[in-house]
Chains A and B, each alone.
Chain A
């Protein structure tokens, strides 16, 4: 508990230590969707049924992991919700829906279980860098343990049943958040993304359809969750991600090899740091600055905490959500809070997660 009496959101495991290939890959996320047999899916269920599902799932999660922390969606402070969102313990969809629901977060910040998101259960595990096993193993193990305690919905011909047909089968989505600013400058950028698409991946710009102007963050995930191809699709998405990592490193190498390349990168990184610290930047500039600073840190021309930049990407994602779906006052409020956290991180790199809220 915090001094103010609110339950503290655990420090996210993916922000605790560096992961493989983190110069390019911000994080790996594994999400598993499950539903209870005989219940309507959350988008159709009335509050009484949602409450019933919430209780059943809560009992099962607490039996499996008694030390986890639970947060009731209907009784959340704005600051707590922000911490849960930035820590990637909850999705924007879970945060938006106001019906009965809860999120259970492992005390070590490794995983979370959202109850009554699009599906009754959304098990989520995020790992730093390109670490599919680190994200998928805990999520799968938790799903298996919950399956022993809950009547999960499934059919032999389909697999696990989900509210959206796009998730039916394994219900498992493996996604990678990539930072590819150098590749985005190249003519072959779209071809590289198309190659990943061709491998059966879903590729999208995290901050919009085009990524060039918005910091070049892309998300790559498996498209297929149904049938015998589902496991193969996971191998393919990992391969596609490794391919993009190599292409981005080649592009960075070419940037550095240019005349004054290192100096340009250094100036861009330091300029971004100064802008973040001193200016009231709008959202597109916020993204560009985070991207430029992260690139400079990743190639080693600027001092900074690469792990911390992952938190800022998450903050920017939250700001962008408000930018698209919130009203004017909300947008400004979210951006100011994000900037305040980023400045604190730049000035005091060792400031703890709990002090940021």
Chain B
């Protein structure tokens, strides 16, 4: 069974392969281990496809739920990462997204 080498959890593992072999750590442990490579990998993964330059705070707030009833992803998570948690998030945060999406994708 594949487990985090630090805490033993089996979820959300990151694998770093180098000339010496492969290490497995969960995202939480990888972030706290004083290992430059691991920390960099976690940062890299966390930055993926984050939209830039989106002025979330300037957008008027529509009627939206604060958290997705399906997965628990919060509106502030969306604001800080530009990512949604599941497909139901699109329904939960629809009021905000209908304002933000056109701004993000304007030509």
Min CB distance B72 to A, Å, is 9
In the bound complex, residues from chain A placing their C-beta under 8 Å from that of B19 are 329-330, 332-333
A157 surroundings in chain B (CB, below 8 A): 94, 98
Interface status of A168 (Cβ within 8 A of chain B): yes
B67 / chain A contacts, CB cutoff of 8 Å: none
Assess whether A96 is in contact with B44, with CB atoms less than 8 Å apart: yes
* B99 CB → nearest A CB, Å: 12
Taking a contact as CB atoms under 8 Å apart, the answer to whether B100 and A224 are in contact is no
Q: Point out which of A98, A168, A332 has the most chain B C-beta atoms below 10 A from its C-beta.
A: A98
Q: Which among A98, A225, A229, A326 is the interface contact of B13 at CB below 8 angstroms? A: A98
> What 1/0 flags go to B63-93 for Cβ under 8 Å of A?
0000000010100001000111111101100
Interface size class of A (residues with CB under 8 A): 35 or more
Q: Which range holds the interface residue count of chain B?
A: 35 or more
Minimal beta-carbon separation of A196 from chain B (angstroms): 13
> Which B residues are CB-close (under 8 A) to A166?
49-51, 82, 104
Q: Which residues of B contact A329 (CB under 8 A)?
A: 18-20
| Contacts A98-B13, A325-B37, A326-B18; A223 near B105 (Cβ below 8 A) | yes
Task: Determine if A97 is an interface residue (Cβ-Cβ < 8 Å).
Answer: yes
A226 touches B82 (CB 8 A): no
In the bound complex, do residue A161 and residue B83 qualify as a contact, i.e. CB atoms below 8 Å apart? no
Known pairs A81-B17, A96-B45, A168-B101; A35 contacts B87 (CB<8 A):
yes
The answer to whether A78 touches B17, judged by C-beta atoms less than 8 angstroms apart, is yes
- Min Cβ gap B26→A in Å is 9
**Shortest distance between the CB of A228 and any CB in chain B (Å):** 10
Listed in ascending order, the chain A residues whose CB lies under 8 Å from chain B are: 35-41, 43-44, 46-47, 74, 78, 81, 92-93, 96-99, 118, 153, 155, 157-158, 161, 163-169, 200, 223-227, 229-230, 232-233, 236, 322, 324-327, 329-330, 332-333
Binding site for A on B (CB under 8 A): 2, 10-20, 24, 35-37, 40-41, 44-45, 48-51, 54, 71, 73, 78, 82-88, 90-91, 94, 97-98, 100-102, 104-107
